[in-house]
Structure 1
Amino acid sequence: MMPGEKAKDESPSISAQTHFKAGLIQVLDLMIAQMNTRFIALNEVADDFAFLSGQAIVNTSVTQLTKIAADLAIKYPDDLDPHEFSSEIESFKFQATTLKSEAKDMNHLNVLEKIFDLSLEDVYPNITTALRIFLCMPVTTATCERSFRQERLANISILSIEKDTTTRLNFDKIIDLFAEAKSRKVLF
């Protein structure tokens, strides 16, 4: 070995603070990469449904709207019928032109609310379904939060199904029993 060289098995000496900073930078890089990936995916979904906003319906040609509607129906074949959806969009475009000044400022939720206000959900079932799909997309794509939400929804649905039993339960007593069982009292 030459003076100043380290043996191959000798680890470099870095401070705990430098080691912490290096680890933190790795975590931040991973988080940024994951957020960018998710942001891109969510933007693609938002782009798929963008034609259902009031401004897009008013400003986009019928031909273009029907093509976009057919493409979206192909992505959601269990929920949307391509032919009916295209026909509904064409009809809805003309309905929206009568509300032109009001329709231009409508976001997706406002369009859905207007359909319900005018009792048109039976006339435009595919548009209603598409808007509901878009508006019910998960706000987050975090797997742990989705699984928690799914578990909670499953439990709530069981409570709803077993309504006769749940109405007879004393929830205060159950909560007290649960709290007693889960209390972690440390005796010194």
Structure 2
Amino acid sequence: MGSAQPSDIAKVLLTEEQIATRLGEMAADVDRDYQGRDLLLVGVLKGAVMVMADLSRALQHETVAMDWMAVSSYGSGTRSSGVVRILKDLDTDLEGRHVLIVEDIIDSGLTLSWLISNLKSRGPASLEVATMFRKPEAAQADVDVRYVGFDLPNEFLVGYGLDWAEKYRTLPYVATLAPHLYS
């Protein structure tokens, strides 16, 4: 799976098995918390595709709907400024819905903080966040995240939705990228 050359990968941090196990645990928590309620999963493109697909299939919940948003945050280079533009909005009305934002990774938290306030203004019954990965050291905004798969070091990571120049997203594991590629 994926198209990485072995020389592109410095170190595997999380294996496919570790990710699948943790995803199953997160799905069980979501199932318990939303029992008897309709749930709308909102995926944030493009990174959340893997997490969204795997989480939704791991849920036992019968009444799960899915929708997608694409947002672009502006900043210098790889740093987010928190200035966000919606590239693709939701097709679903959030009024009275139980909404779970699904993210691949939270680093600065600035874009997610903006997204939460934007979606809250649409009148959902509840709004929570699930992320497969979080980089606590990179946080610049205090975001309340209900479900977290793994806390990761503030390094350049690829795989399982995380990309470098749109590459390596499809790797089934999470790894650090070899420095020769980006230094």
Shorter chain as denominator, the TM-score bin is: under 0.3
The structure with more radius of gyration: 1
Q: Please give the TM-score of this superposition, normalised by the length of structure 2.
A: 0.25
- Structure number with the bigger relative contact order (C-alpha 8 A, sep ≥ 6) is 2
Q: Please give the TM-score of this superposition, normalised by the length of structure 1.
A: 0.24
Name whichever structure is richer in helix by fraction.
1
Name whichever structure is richer in strand by fraction.
2
